Structure 1
Amino acid sequence: MVRLSRDDWLAAGLHLLVEEGVESITLEAACRRLNVTKGSFYHHFKNMDAFRSAMLDYWEANYTTRFIEASRTAATPEAQLQHIAAMVIDTYGTEEVAVRAWAQSDPRVRAALHRVDSRRLSFLQELLGTFYPDAAGSMARTFYAVLLGAPEMHPPASQEEFAEMYALLMRLHEHLIATNDT
C-alpha cells in the first residue's frame, strides 16, 4: 500500500479545485482521486476545514514563497526578474484562476489572496525598484496585471501567448533600462 504524504492530499485538493470548483473539494472526491480510504486523510488533517486551510497554505508556499525564494538566489536583479518570469510562465494559469474564483465565496480565501497579492506586489516592487526608483509600484502592478489578466481573458491566453506577453514586457523593460526612461 502506498503511503500518501500531506502534500499528496493537498495537491489532490488543488486539482479538484481547478478541475471542478470549490464544491468538489470533499473527502469522498479526494479519496476517489487518490484511490484510498478515508483513514489516510485523518492521519494528516483533523477535518475538511483544516484541509481547506492547508490547501491555501500549500498554494501560497508553492506559488508565492517558492518563487520568491528561488528568484532571490539569482546573482543580479535582472537575473532575478528573468527567473521569476520563467517560473510564472512554467506554472501559468489554472491554479491562480481557481483560487481567485474560490475567494469570491469564502472570506478566509479572500484574506489569504489579499496577503498573497501583497507579498507578490511587495517583492516585485522591491525588485523593480532597482531599475525604476520613481515608478516601482506602477511597474510591479503592470507585470502583475499581465499575470492576473491573461488567464481571465475570454478565451484565456494560452501558455504560449502568455509567454509571448511576458517576453514583450521583458523587451520593453530592457528598452526602458537602455534608454534610462522611467
Structure 2
Amino acid sequence: MTKGAGGSRKLSVDDWIEAGYALLANGGIEALKLDRLCGHLEVTKGSFYWHFTDMSAFRTALARAWAELRDRDRRGFGELSGLPPRDRLAAMMATLRGERQRALERAMREWARTDPAVADSVRAADQRVLAAVRTAFTDAGFDPDEAEMRASATFAAGIGFLHLSEAPAGPQLAHQQERFLDVMLGR
C-alpha cells in the first residue's frame, strides 16, 4: 500500500487480496462483503471498483490467488525430496500449523463446499499434495498400493487435525502429528 498525492492510500490488487484473506480466515465466506473489505482497508468503494468489476470478480481473483499461493507452498515439497521420508512428511504436515495458514485453509475448504470453481482449485491442489505424500511413502519402502493407502490416510488425518484444532497449533498438536507419523511409517 502506498500513499498518493494528498496522502490518500493507493491500494494494489494484492492489498485487496490480503484483506480478503484476513476476512475469510476470520469470518468465512459470509465475511466477504464489500462494506467489510472497505472498512478493513479504511477506503471507499471507489477504490474497490478501480481494481474489480464486482464482488464476483473479486472472489474469483481471491480464489485464484489462493490457488497460486498454495501451489507455491506445495512446490516447496519438491525441495524436500533430499530429506528422509519421515522428515519430509513432518515438514509437509507443519505447513498447516501456522495460524493464518490453518484458518485460511479451513475457510477455503468451507467455501469449496458451495462454489464449484473453488472446489476444483482445492481438489487440484490436494492432488499435488497427495502425490508428494505418496512419493514419501514409496521412498520409505512401501509398495505402490500400500503407499497410496497410507498417503490417503495421512492426507485425511492432516485435514482432520486442521479441522479439530480450534486453538493455534501448539506442542500438543505437533506431538500428535509426530505420533501419527510414527504409526503410519510403522509396518
Other-structure match for 1:9 = 16
Q: Deviations over 1:49-87 (max 9, x none)?
A: 12111211222222x312222232235142543432332
Q: Which runs of 4+ in 1 moved over 6 A?
A: none
Q: 2 CA distance for matches of 1:133 and 1:52?
A: 42
Q: 2 CA distance for matches of 1:86 and 1:152?
A: 15
* Structure 2 counterparts to residues 127-166 of structure 1, below 5 A: 127-131=136-140, 132-134=142-144, 135-153=146-164, 156=166, 158-160=168-170, 161-166=172-177
Q: TM-score, normalised by structure 1?
A: 0.79
Q: TM-score, normalised by structure 2?
A: 0.78
Other-structure match for 1:114 = 123
Between the aligned residues of both structures, percent identity stands at 28
> Any conservation in 2 of the 1:150–1:157 contact (CA below 8 Å)?
no
Q: Which runs of 5+ in 2 are unaligned?
A: 4-8
Other-structure match for 1:167 = 178
Whichever residue aligns with residue 14 of structure 2, its letter is: D
Q: Deviations over 1:141-167 (max 9, x none)?
A: 1221122112333x7465123322221
Are 1:26 and 2:33 matched, yes or no? yes
Q: 1 CA distance for matches of 2:79 and 2:68?
A: 17
> Any conservation in 2 of the 1:72–1:80 contact (CA below 8 Å)?
no
> Any conservation in 1 of the 2:112–2:119 contact (CA below 8 Å)?
yes
- Which residue, out of 44, 69, 81, partners 1:37? 44
* Structure 2 counterparts to residues 13-92 of structure 1, below 5 A: 13-62=20-69, 64-74=70-80, 76-78=82-84, 79-91=87-99
Q: 2 CA distance for matches of 1:31 and 1:168?
A: 44
Query: Structure with the greater relative contact order (CA < 8 A, sep ≥ 6): 1 or 2?
Result: 2
